[in-house]
Amino acid sequence: MKKSVGNSTFFLKMIEISNKFNNQQTIAEPVSINGIGLHSGVDVSMKLFPAEADYGIKFVRKDLNKNNVIEAVWSNVTNTKLSTTISNQSGASVSTIEHLMSALSGLHIDNVKIEINGSEVPIMDGSSIKFVDLIDKTSTQSLNKKRKILKVKKNIKIESNDSSVELKPNNHFSIDFEIDFPSKIVSKQSCQLQLVNGNYKTDIASARTFGFEKDVDMLRSNGLALGGSLDNAVVVGESKILNSDGLRFEDEFVRHKILDSIGDLYLAGSPIQGYFYGNKSGHHLNNKLLRTLFADNDNYEYI
Q: Looking at the annotation, which residues are catalytic?
A: 283
The residues, ordered by sequence, that sit 6+ positions from 303 with a Cβ below 8 Å of its Cβ are 148, 149, 151, 273
Question: CA angle, 104 as apex, 20 and 48 as ends, to 5°?
Answer: 100
The residues, ordered by sequence, that sit 6+ positions from 282 with a Cβ below 8 Å of its Cβ are 80, 163, 257, 260
Contact 119, 93 (CB under 8 A): yes
- Cα 44 to Cα 37, 118, 122, 132, 273: the distances in Å are 7, 6, 6, 18, 34
Nearest to 258 by CA among 171, 196, 178, 184: 178
Nearest to 96 by CA among 124, 122, 116: 122
The residues, ordered by sequence, that sit 6+ positions from 99 with a Cβ below 8 Å of its Cβ are 121, 123, 124, 126, 127, 128, 131, 209, 259, 260, 263
